[in-house]
Amino acid sequence: MDRHGQHDIDVAGLRIAITGGTSGLGLALVREWNARGASVAFVARTPERVEQVARELRGVTGIVGDVASKLDIHPIALQVLGALGGLDVLVNNASSLGPVPLALLADTECEAVEDALATNLLGPFRLTKALLGALRASAAEHRGGVVLNISSDAAITPYPGWGAYGASKAALHHLSAIWNAELDGEGISVLSPDPGDMDTPLHALAVPDADRSTLRLPEASAHELTLAIVAALGERMRVRQAEVR
């Protein structure tokens, strides 16, 4: 334990899958976990970017797929498990704004709302469900069992123009809370933190004229999210040790 009474968790060898892993926060997370010695598989839609990141970071596995597509989910899950031999941590990071540029709800096409829901809600739901057996096995083996769904302050605050994105993230946030309650007894934690406004391509699409100096670096958010995952793993370890006593 460290001086705060928390367990030091060595993430080397942990098996983690990260969606949206070729840019922004997702890429920062892939780099962070790869640097810590974890076994990393990442998912993204563009083959060229997947290949580029896989070349840049030795030892990571790139998977081409679209989490918004129902037909892609099981092939993605099979490739994750084939590459990693199991799964300890899943990060559902891939996100869609819906309409670009942002639009008031009355001016938003139904298809744009459907796209936001498919990427931000149904994708994480389907992929978590497809990988839940592996996460349960990891929890039972006292290795891991953490799902981290990237949320947003737009899930809580009703910003005009962010309707499709905010509604889909609000649904994801609540879904995460319910799943966390349902899976708690199995040793699986489901988190949905807000990483803050970051200097990412997604934010640039949403707010092209934003002052980038006011935005967080994705690397800083990736580090904080990694610590949150480590803390969740440490809490599970403490619970298990208390049960043994």
Quickly list DSSP for 163-195. Answer: HHHHHHHHHHHHHHHHHHHHHGGGT-EEE----
Rounded to two decimals, the pTM is 0.93
Backbone φ and ψ for 5, nearest 5 degrees, come out as: 80, 10
Q: Region 48-62: what's the mean pLDDT?
A: 97
Residues 72 and 203: their CA atoms lie apart, in Å, by: 26
Count the residues in the chain.
245
Q: Region 44-65: what's the mean pLDDT?
A: 97
Residues 43 and 18: their CA atoms lie apart, in Å, by: 6
List 203's β-bridge partners, or say none: none
Residues 33 and 28: their CA atoms lie apart, in Å, by: 9
159 is catalytic: no
Q: What is the mean pLDDT of the chain?
A: 94
Lowest mean pLDDT among 17-21, 105-109, 207-211: 207-211
Tell me: pLDDT of 2 over 50: no
Domains of the chain: 15-244 (3.40.50.720)
Number of other CB atoms surrounding residue 209 within 10 Å: 5
Rounded-to-10 torsion of CA 194, 185, 132, 113: -40
Residue in 30, 165, 187, 191 annotated catalytic: 165
Tell me: pLDDT of 6 over 90: no
Q: Give 189-233 pLDDT, tens digit per residue.
A: 999 999 999 999 999 999 999 999 999 999 999 999 999 999 999
Which tokens sit at 196?
């803050």
Which tokens sit at 238?
């403490």
The pLDDT confidence band at residue 4, using thresholds 50, 70 and 90, is very low
Residues 78 and 176: their CA atoms lie apart, in Å, by: 23
Write the CB contacts of 214 (distance below 8 Å, at least 6 apart in sequence).
Answer: 197
Tell me: pLDDT of 68 over 90: yes
Residues 169 and 28: their CA atoms lie apart, in Å, by: 21
**Where is pLDDT greater, at 176 or 3?**
176
